[in-house]
Chain A
């Protein structure tokens, strides 16, 4: 067994450290921008402990210290301790539900002195570690149903607890771990089903009561879902059944019928387009079944089943939402999808956030010169909507720079994960990348108006000590795992 362990600092990946520091500095400056008010102009006040910027700076210091400590903990320790950590975190999570104070309906914060921490942030770490450790075990095979469902269990348990804390947004983050399962060999169809189910749900419900501009009698949501079902099923035929010809013919048919009926409805006689769409889907099912019979293609049957299942899923979502769920439960989902804001004030947050970003123009208004963020037009501007400040003050150039650095950070994590020589390290690395990716995609997407309003922070940017510390712990643990990659236990 070869042991080439020199100084830990010579073995850690300085690229990721550089990207981390860049993001952290950019993030802290953004918080300065977001919490700066016109009344006080003293820059030193940013370091004042009573100010949010000061608190954040302190948490950043704590996080880096914690990170340095973590660098000293050997990879094997995690492997060994992961079940304990996982069980401890789950227990803490459950405890939180009962001891946390109710803050706007959420029971996720535990106050210690003047600071509040959110245990959910550490549950991410625990879950990641547990998943990596479980999948890294000798003989693990994801294609085996028992192993697969155990993985799903590890992911779903903390999710349920966080839903119990009323932090549905944070719970959704765990869905990103399915990307890790995919990398480790989970069937692409499963991933596609998970993704498509989420998309149908979000799109269908979110725009379920938004009338179309061209056809006011028709709602955008259900129509979009039928189109998406066609797209997903065709994609399955092409890449899963590997029937390019069939896919091409059906694509042509679906597009032409949909387009023609749409044009007729908009420009000639308005009629219920949904009927055409359902007929089209029914035709697709029939066609696939006939093909399956003739060519003995079982996969075609599965695609047909997928179409029927998708329609049934979407229908039941609507049914459950409107008829089964109690009003307060429905409201929770509507809030998650940004529907609540729409009902109350025409999507105020996103609207204001788009104004703030849009007004930044190419070069922005300059550091601390944003008017929209300073004057508190964007709610949650230093937490979930922090990207607004960047958009307004740094403009297109600055925003793109942040996006690029973030993407580089995620891609670097993937690269690091790929160079691990054991499954534990790779799974951990991918889980990390997936979590960052999910936060990044949902948060920025929400702020720029193309994702529903799901209140999750932008890592290293959003104000919040627990969040920063949580992400740092995740990252520094991986740095050590990466540094130890040649060392075999």
Chain B
């Protein structure tokens, strides 16, 4: 045997060693260089990105009174698999949480039905326990293995009023999460009212803490001593133009009535109060009873969650006559001296529109003061018949332009979601419905705020503000100040209407006369020059009672609209309610006499039947 026969085998063996080396380098290359999924897997393994929730911005009223704030609440969660593993003394748990066995079963059932249920992760058992409720449970928490408590911050309200304005927060929807990566499942987001329209300002900015988590899920400390952590940024506080006392009085006065009150500070467009009745106490929607109360409110046929002030459209009735006077004067259809006859109504070629008894013929100022229907029908007839316009269509569209310039027919752009635009017809509308050959008499009811015209109570109040300002307005808005931020430009710059100052002075005189000697005598407030206009809007049922006014006549501080569904004459509900609100705002308190009146109105009930409203 040749001793060197097998020498070349050293190359085979050495080659095998090198082959292994190359194979392993290739594998390492594919693991470490080509593949990047391991990096993210390692991160999700080791890093627990803990979200630090900022506190939501607070909301104050115009006098600095705290309206909306945050309160800790506790959600009780459980990990089904852990509970199953360790067993559970159900009776003991029910006792600790002060719930019945039936409650327990129903919470468990609800948790199982929820989207994204997993037996490995924390599931909601009960939500929004108060600190007191939780304190009792916390002592015994260790006995219920697999159960956990999660602290959250929920909204709390200082007053019983303003619910529909503040709105609501709730868990963010999947749709929103898909659209905005800021939100993660389980986050809260403003869903209604100011909470929704100022969500971005109120929410602040979430922070994160990078924690290291070991293989057993235990937190081992901060990653790189917190170098990558971000602190949460607290939400911005909002200050409203709202006067909470005004709001409370309004909601009190509107008890057992359906309708709205909107008060605006004319100079700024700030909403002083915005009542939508029936209203609800926002405090009902926090804490454990939230779910039940929310269900009750949202199934209520009178829709207390609807903000009628911006979502309800009504015929403005006689309050609208002021806008007509402005248009006719500006267009030269009438002068302040123009008189029209009224013999219990407007009579033309067999067409008749009734009016109440007053002297005749009558000029503009008393026509406004007594709310003469005929005067405004004649005015519209004269304007639409004027040869200033090529045809009635042009006249109609000119009229429409005036109305739009006063803020009707389109959204005013208030800082609340869900505002509707109301209805101002144009010539095309009538062409479509009546054919080309319609006459002023066909549409004449628009001049007295009936017919096709509908406005929101906000638009009526804004009309008051416009008159108070003698021809301009700032888009009405609730928020007057955002901490460290500025308001939208449209809430700072006035808009002009198409009517001139002189025309406005005439209307102001008419409205002042109405309070002194006309339909609004009940609106008089001692010591203040109040201007007002009633409205009694016809509709299928009993007339709606409306009032629009402002005070004082010069340098007005408050403009108001009151609208009470089926309240009858304007003077019955609209006027006294409007007067009380203005009095409280102007004097800071109600006189004894007014207090009695307020109580009396508060106790009055209008019966609406059981139909859905």
Please report which residues of chain A, range 2-58, place their CB below 8 angstroms from some CB of chain B when the two chains form the complex.
37-39
CA distance A440 to B33 in the complex (A): 22
Residues of B within 8 A of A230 (CB): none
- Is the Cβ of B20 less than 8 Å from the Cβ of A440? yes
Contacts of A357 in B (CB 8 A): 28, 31-32, 38
* A126-161 vs B, Cβ < 8 Å mask (1 yes, 0 no): 000000000000000101000000000000000000
- Counting CB contacts under 8 A, is B388 at the interface? no
Question: Is B17 part of the binding interface, using a Cβ–Cβ cutoff of 8 Å?
Answer: yes
Task: Decide if B220 is an interface residue (CB 8 Å cutoff).
Answer: yes
Q: How many Cβ-Cβ contacts under 8 Å join chain A to chain B? A: 128
Given contacts A141-B1, A357-B38, A361-B39, contact A371 B212 (CB under 8 A): yes
Q: Does B387 contact A (CB under 8 A)?
A: no
CB <8 Å contact, A400 and B41? no
Q: Which residues of B contact A179 (CB under 8 A)?
A: 13
Pairwise interchain contact B32-A361, C-beta atoms closer than 8 A? yes
Q: How far is the CB of B15 from chain A (nearest CB, A)?
A: 10
- Evaluate whether A38 and B31 lie within 8 angstroms (CB atoms) in the complex, with A359-B42, A375-B46, A404-B21 already known: no
Q: Does B37 contact A (CB under 8 A)?
A: yes
Asked if B24 and A361 make an inter-chain contact with CB atoms under 8 angstroms apart, the answer reads no
User: Which residue of chain A lies nearest to B21 when distances are taken between CB atoms in the complex?
Assistant: A407
User: A450 touching B27 by the CB < 8 A rule?
Assistant: yes
Given known A357-B28, A407-B18, contact A418–B10 (CB-CB < 8 A): yes
Known A-B contacts A38-B212, A185-B5, A404-B21; the reply to A358 vs B46 at CB < 8 A is: no
B291 on the A face (CB < 8 A): no
Give A392's nearest chain B residue, CB to CB. Answer: B42
Q: What's the least CB distance linking A45 to chain B, in Å?
A: 17
**Residues of B201-242 contacting chain A, CB below 8 A:** 212-216, 220-221, 223
CA distance A407 to B14 in the complex (A): 9
Q: CB distance A359 to B39 under 8 Å?
A: yes
Name B22-79 residues within 8 Å CB distance of A: 23-25, 27-29, 31-33, 35, 37-39, 41-43, 45-47
Q: Which residues of B, 173-215, contact A by the 8 Å Cβ criterion?
A: 212-215
* A333 CB–B CB distance under 8 Å: no
CA–CA, A182 and B6, complex, Å: 9
Residues of A within 8 A of B214 (CB): 375-377
Across-interface contacts of A449 in B (CB, < 8 A): 27, 31
The answer to whether A410 and B17 have CB atoms under 8 Å apart is yes
The interface centre, meaning the residue of B6, B21, B29 with most chain A CB atoms within 10 A of its CB, is: B21
Minimum C-beta distance from B286 to chain A (A)? 40
Asked if B488 lies at the interface with its beta carbon under 8 angstroms from chain A, I say no
Q: In the assembled complex, which residues on chain B have CB atoms less than 8 Å from the CB atom of A414? A: 10, 13-14, 17
Name the residue of chain B whose CB is nearest to the CB of A441: B20
A-B contact pairs, 26 of them (CB 8 A): A37-B220, A38-B212, A38-B221, A39-B221, A182-B13, A183-B9, A185-B5, A185-B6, A357-B32, A358-B41, A359-B39, A372-B46, A374-B212, A375-B212, A376-B214, A377-B46, A377-B214, A391-B31, A403-B25, A403-B28, A407-B18, A407-B21, A414-B14, A437-B20, A445-B24, A448-B24
Given pairs A357-B32, A450-B27, 18 additional interface contacts (CB within 8 A) = A38-B221, A141-B1, A182-B13, A357-B31, A358-B32, A358-B42, A360-B32, A371-B47, A371-B212, A372-B42, A375-B213, A391-B28, A391-B31, A396-B32, A414-B14, A418-B10, A437-B16, A437-B17
Closest 3 CB pairs of A and B: A358-B38, A359-B42, A371-B46
Interface residues in chain A, defined as those with a beta carbon under 8 Å from any beta carbon in chain B: 37-39, 141, 143, 179, 182-185, 352, 354-362, 371-372, 374-377, 391-392, 395-396, 399-400, 403-404, 407, 410-411, 414, 418, 430, 433, 437, 440-441, 444-445, 448-450
Chain B interface (Cβ < 8 Å from any Cβ of A) = 1, 5-7, 9-10, 13-14, 16-18, 20-21, 23-25, 27-29, 31-33, 35, 37-39, 41-43, 45-47, 212-216, 220-221, 223
